[in-house]
């Protein structure tokens, strides 16, 4: 597994196509910064790569935009270092459209190269790499890893790079549905998961775990029965629910939070406590607000599923408005509790959740 340092694959045309891999410092890049590599299994005990800038490596390619049998257009470049009978742009384009994918496939450029060229571009401990909608993969098996395994892993990163998981970066945490099902937020809180760590905690990096889960999910759909789990911690191995969530993240991406509004009129004969279930199937940011009647002093609180534990009380943020915000992190049963006090009248509660 390569280091967590960002990999920027710059492509330029100047006679031969030149691919340069820039490996920056070991600092975690900003949210959405492209990165990642799949370390060769035989080298998985190596330490993280040291920060460095690799020399530009001139590689000539054949290929480009290919129209596949599905009608989709895929950009595939194959190194002239690979014999034509071993790898063609058309063959790899057909493989790519056969992956579980969405519209993000059209934005990907895939460079299929020799294993030596992979290591020149991605680093001496890497078997492939991804960054900025560009993927570098070997065209032939090496070190007991098939090119198809590496492509699936790196394509998982491409999916994540084109998905949302606010307030976190999907490239580091995994996409929203899988990350929620796999309890990534809770694991991070317990220091069992380390988003973005491409070094000593690579095996517990949820961004890498997601890429391997994508690989397993797609292999299973393709009928591959020899799936292994050698590079990520065993407790990240996906459940059936996690595999289903991963497929949904690809085919039905989460895009934005949702808001529901509930209204109740408190009268003389109305119960003083009003319970409102909070949709909490996904982890992420929430916001609650309550508009009270004039001179109303109602207590409004976010309460755990036991209906006793108060997680947060809404505070005054306006003349008649109380509100709060925070993060849903593993809680799947939540309620807003409104306790009437002061004036009777209409109360409106707005709940925004992932």
Of the candidate ranges 11-25, 161-175, 244-258, 326-340, the one whose mean pLDDT is the lowest: 11-25
Residue 183, pLDDT above cutoff 70: yes
CATH class, 258-353 region: mainly beta
Q: Quick one: pLDDT at residue 57?
A: 58
Give span(s): CATH 2.60.120.380, the chain. 258-353
Report percent pLDDT > 70 for the chain: 84
- Residue 61 — φ and ψ, nearest 5°? -125, 155
Average pLDDT score over the chain: 85
Predicted TM-score (pTM) above 0.75 = yes
Residue 231 DSSP label: S
Q: Quick one: pLDDT at residue 295?
A: 94
The 10s digit of each residue's pLDDT in 232-258 is 999 999 999 999 999 999 999 999 999
The 10s digit of each residue's pLDDT in 276-318 is 999 999 999 999 999 999 999 999 999 999 999 999 999 999 9
Helices (H), the chain: 89-97, 115-122, 147-161, 170-173, 176-181, 184-189, 206-221, 240-251
Q: Quick one: pLDDT at residue 145?
A: 85
Q: Quick one: pLDDT at residue 339?
A: 98
The 10s digit of each residue's pLDDT in 14-47 is 222 333 332 222 222 233 333 334 443 333 222 2
Instruction: Give 312's strand partners.
Output: 302
Residue 300 CA to residue 323 CA, distance in Å, equals 9
Q: Quick one: pLDDT at residue 120?
A: 86
- Give helix 206-221 / helix 240-251 axis angle, nearest 10°: 90
């Amino acid at each position: 597994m390569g280091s967590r340092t960002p990999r920027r694959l710059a492509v330029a045309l100047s006679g031969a196509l030149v691919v340069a891999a820039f490996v920056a410092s070991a600092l975690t890049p900003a949210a959405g910064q492209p990165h990642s590599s799949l370390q060769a299994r035989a080298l998985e005990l190596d330490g993280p790569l040291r920060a460095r800038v690799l020399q530009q490596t001139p590689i000539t390619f054949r290929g480009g935009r290919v129209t596949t049998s599905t009608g989709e257009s895929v950009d595939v470049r194959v190194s002239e270092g690979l014999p034509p009978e071993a790898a063609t742009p058309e063959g790899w384009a057909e493989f790519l459209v056969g992956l579980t994918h969405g519209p993000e496939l059209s934005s990907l450029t895939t460079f299929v190269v020799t294993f030596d060229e992979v290591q020149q571009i991605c680093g001496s401990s890497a078997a492939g790499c991804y960054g900025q909608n560009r993927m570098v993969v070997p065209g032939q098996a090496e070190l007991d890893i098939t090119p198809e395994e590496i492509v699936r892993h790196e394509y998982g990163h491409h999916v994540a790079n084109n998905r949302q998981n606010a307030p976190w970066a999907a490239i580091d945490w995994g996409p929203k549905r899988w990350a929620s099902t796999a309890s990534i937020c809770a694991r991070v809180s317990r220091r069992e998961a380390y988003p973005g760590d491409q070094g000593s905690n690579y095996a517990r990096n949820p961004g890498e775990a997601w890429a391997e889960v994508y690989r397993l999910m797609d292999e299973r759909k393709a009928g591959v029965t020899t799936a292994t789990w050698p590079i990520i911690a065993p407790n990240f191995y996906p459940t059936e629910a996690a595999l289903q969530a991963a497929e949904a993240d690809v085919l039905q991406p989460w895009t934005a939070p949702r808001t529901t509004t509930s209204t109740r009129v408190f009268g003389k004969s109305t119960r003083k406590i009003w319970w409102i279930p909070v949709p909490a199937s996904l982890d992420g940011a929430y916001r609650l607000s309550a508009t009270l009647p004039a001179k109303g002093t109602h207590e409004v609180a976010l309460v755990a599923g036991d209906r006793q534990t108060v997680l947060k009380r809404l505070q005054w943020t306006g003349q008649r408005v109380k509100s709060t915000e925070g993060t849903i992190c593993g809680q799947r049963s939540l309620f807003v509790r409104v306790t009437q006090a002061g004036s009777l009248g209409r109360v409106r509660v707005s709940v925004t959740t992932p």
